Chain A
């Protein structure tokens, strides 16, 4: 009863614009509970904290099942006009429905919500001293709910409502640790950028409404293809800018590497794992399900996505703050996703249905995988920070022995992000490879094919950069010897966090082990002409089908290694092992002797110096800022403080209007 009371009052205060740290209400309620129930303050806090998180878990499980059922049976959950007594427009209609595409994202959201909420139970302990832990939990709950609204939206109003709610709540979560000055800057930048994006989205929806006469997504599906090509391109551009801003695509990414590290780790996991995917979902919906794309859209996607993949991966190899590395890695992954969407769009425009289908399938699969391993990585990074109080790789080291669970989770996440064979990242990148290579092959002597080949180049280059990044994180952070007192005194995370880490690792592994099942399920989400029979995918005449491939690889890797081990053991005998200090040319061993994170990536920085030019800052944001200032100067001249000149403006306007009207 008490808990229900608390959790019902929170969202109201949360939304009413009070800051997260405004906790008087909670204190008042807790005070009353203590008076009446003789409970200790700390106990109350813990109960509130745990129960809100458990509510989030239950809610996420609900979302998961909603997505599960929606995959095969698209359903309309809720449709009701709001404020119909005040406004006569049909705009304000709350419309929640599941379609197969959104179901996949909903399921991912559900899984991530469960993981993050369980993680939050343990992670919130960090903030318990501040007694605002509960606000954080409520924020996470609202964040998940807002994203669910985005995925469930069946019309423009619901979508924009969920979108804005998501942006606002995530802003509040980003500035949660607002006593750090850089966090506030990151928050403001994030809020500003995301609002700019929303403007473009509103414009796009306005255009769609203007020419179809409806706000319903179901109507867009039927009517949007009949619009004129120019109009479609304009709508495409608006949605592209709006969604690319949210997705952190390269020239529009500046908020992402600041905002993601600033948030608490399980919020970062949600933001990176699923919030970026809302942008992808929107883009897929608009460009592949509503409009009929043309080739140059795909080329734009490929070029921007590819460059942002390469640059994001490059920056990920240069940063030392573990969460910033992961944030840049998210940019890289979103770049890859955009690239594949580009392949799909180009193939769609060229009427290569199978390739478009495979590429779209690869996109969704890769999005699921990225959600899985990036949330895992952020959780593991949070656990590292929690255990060592160090954020920089240069001050970590030796965690493999002190934090075994975190290490396992990190290793699984890193191997997945590096896309090595039996892991999930590999399976989806393989689909990417198949689609792009096929597009390159079927369009010989056509520029589009060249772009597909360039996309493959970006894929491979990114892959090599990410491998370097993964080796750097694990090698510097987890192996060798601790480089700081914090790292040497590291302690393993509490139970809830470990549980979440292991569940996340298991989820990532499962996604990689059953690619055929997932691809078959994803068939349901594709638009009708794009569906393909998986026979097209796995070239015929193979001894083993793709469904068995991960198991074969796993068998070869584990079984092969074990076989060699047994062979040596049987024929030669047990190996004699002596433990000795690492050889340091005879000198005394010091932790700082081993390669630091900065030194590790120094050859890369030196060779690819040209990739470090801040193109976005130097050629886009700075000139834009200067332009704004300069125009403001011009407006200052108009605004000169003389009453009579204001009168002149008025006077001239009136006269001109009068004459024009006549």
Chain B
């Protein structure tokens, strides 16, 4: 039950985080920026408007936005946010499940992008999957190496282990894994050194390219899905590296305390993201692998640190 609550919380909170980051970024760059409620307004607009659909589009265009949303929601069910609940809905070995659910969502998005037969869709999809090639193993290795000491490979298990042994959050392994995860979170949320979330310049875009031909409800659902994914990855980072302050039961007081701390942590992370976006320039597509290879080697070192030494 708790995990259902958490997932719904993610749906509701995700646009807010996006608004906050946009606003903060604008402020740092000396602009006023849109209101932090702007994403909610955008969603309302998308959901009310009619849609223009390509004549090449097939049933894929009609189904995928809903399917993609459902998949990201299911992925949210596997994560502990502000409370660790052993009874989470999809808990058993959920690290693998989480990554593959998001992978499925990515695959569906890819099919959506190819559906209108537009060159931009193909370009965005091709790049998206290309970046994913290095992201998926990296994020997996990073979480795995942080979680090797805990029993079982679920986020709940890793979080509980860290909460009961706070000292292990400061080992070399965890630090390396945290660095790698941070880089992956930046990549996966489509943030600046990799992808520019604000651009519509076709030569540079990755995620925007895939959903260029969408409008109306489909676009609204895809945008909401992207924001939810952003929040999910941030939560993954906290679950694996900084779960402190999370409730370990479902007593209302503890949960409330957990919610406040979690929101604080997420907003702080938003500040960091906005700062990074303000001070870095976008990379060329073919320099992205270097960035990701760095992340990959960090996570490999994190893994190695479990096996060398005493």
Binding site for B on A (CB under 8 A): 397-398, 400-401, 415, 418-421, 426, 429-430, 433-434, 437, 440-441, 444-447, 449-450, 453, 456-457, 460-461, 463-465, 467-468, 470-471, 474-476, 479-481, 538-539, 541-544, 546, 549, 552-553, 556-562, 564-565, 568, 572, 575-584, 589, 591, 593-595, 599-604, 606-607
Contact = CB atoms under 8 A, between A and B. Distances in A.
Nearest to A604: B130
A599 B213 CA distance: 20
A460 B140 contact: yes
A577 B111 contact: no
Contacts of A400: 58-60
Contact of A479 (B91, B117, B133): B117
12 contacts: A420-B107, A429-B100, A433-B96, A461-B133, A475-B114, A480-B115, A480-B116, A539-B154, A557-B74, A575-B217, A594-B114, A594-B118
Nearest to A601: B126
A546 B93 CA distance: 11
A582 B118 contact: yes
Contact of B97 (A430, A541, A591): A430
A451 B291 CA distance: 25
B81 interface: no
Contact of B103 (A463, A476, A559, A562): A463
A546 B91 CA distance: 10
Nearest 4 interchain pairs by C-beta: A595-B122, A576-B50, A475-B114, A480-B117
Given A401-B58, A421-B104, A450-B304, A603 B118 contact: no
Contact of A420 (B91, B104, B310): B104
Given A464-B133, A474-B114, A557-B67, 19 more contacts: A400-B59, A420-B101, A429-B96, A444-B148, A457-B141, A464-B132, A464-B137, A539-B93, A544-B89, A553-B90, A556-B73, A560-B66, A560-B73, A561-B63, A564-B66, A564-B69, A582-B118, A591-B117, A595-B119
Contacts of B47: 568, 572
Given A400-B58, A433-B96, A468 B101 contact: no
B310 A445 contact: yes
B148 A440 contact: yes
B129 interface: yes
B122 A543 contact: no
A143 to B, nearest CB: 34
Contacts of A549: 90, 92
A599 B126 CA distance: 8
Classify the interface of chain A: helix, strand, loop or mixed.
helix
A126 B61 CA distance: 35
A560 B76 CA distance: 13
Interface in B33-56: 47-48, 50-56
Classify the interface of chain B: helix, strand, loop or mixed.
helix
Q: Which of A437, A463, A479 has the most chain B CB atoms closer than 10 A to its own CB? A: A479
Contacts of B111: 471, 474-475, 479
B271 interface: no
Given A421-B104, A556-B73, A481 B56 contact: yes
B70 interface: yes
A444 B73 contact: no
A539 B92 contact: yes
Contact of B127 (A479, A538, A603): A603
Nearest to A558: B70
A577 B69 CA distance: 20
B148 A420 contact: no
B245 interface: no
Given A445-B309, A575-B51, A552 B90 contact: yes
B285 interface: yes
Contacts of B145: 453
A606 B287 CA distance: 11
B1 to A, nearest CB: 9
B129 A471 contact: yes
A378 to B, nearest CB: 21
B61 to A, nearest CB: 9
A467 B104 CA distance: 9
B69 A560 contact: yes
Nearest to B289: A607
A650 B74 CA distance: 81
Contact of B96 (A430, A481, A543, A600): A430
A480 B56 contact: yes
B127 A421 contact: no
B216 A575 contact: yes
Interface in B266-309: 285-286, 289, 300, 303-304, 306-309
Contacts of A560: 66, 69-70, 73-74
A557 B71 contact: yes
B119 A604 contact: no
A580 B53 contact: yes
Nearest to B150: A441
B103 A464 contact: yes
A546 to B, nearest CB: 7
B110 interface: yes
A581 B55 contact: yes
B123 interface: yes
Nearest to B145: A453
B265 interface: no
B136 A460 contact: yes
A460 B99 contact: yes
B69 A580 contact: no
Contacts of B234: none
Nearest to B87: A543
Interface in B202-236: 212-213, 216-217, 221
Nearest to A434: B93
A470 B221 contact: no
Contacts of B116: 480, 582
B191 interface: no
B69 to A, nearest CB: 6
Contact of A543 (B89, B118, B133): B89
B286 A564 contact: no
B71 A449 contact: no
Given A577-B50, A601-B126, A538 B92 contact: yes
B125 interface: yes
B93 A460 contact: no
A430 B93 contact: yes
Contacts of A559: 70
Nearest to A543: B87
A444 B304 CA distance: 10
B16 interface: no
Contact of B74 (A426, A430, A553, A589): A553
A556 B119 CA distance: 33
Contacts of B304: 450
Contacts of B66: 560-562, 564-565
A593 B71 CA distance: 31
Given A541-B86, A578-B50, A595-B122, A419 B100 contact: yes
Contacts of A572: 47-48
A606 B53 contact: no
Contacts of A538: 92-93
Contacts of A479: 56, 58, 60, 111, 114-115, 117
Nearest to B91: A542
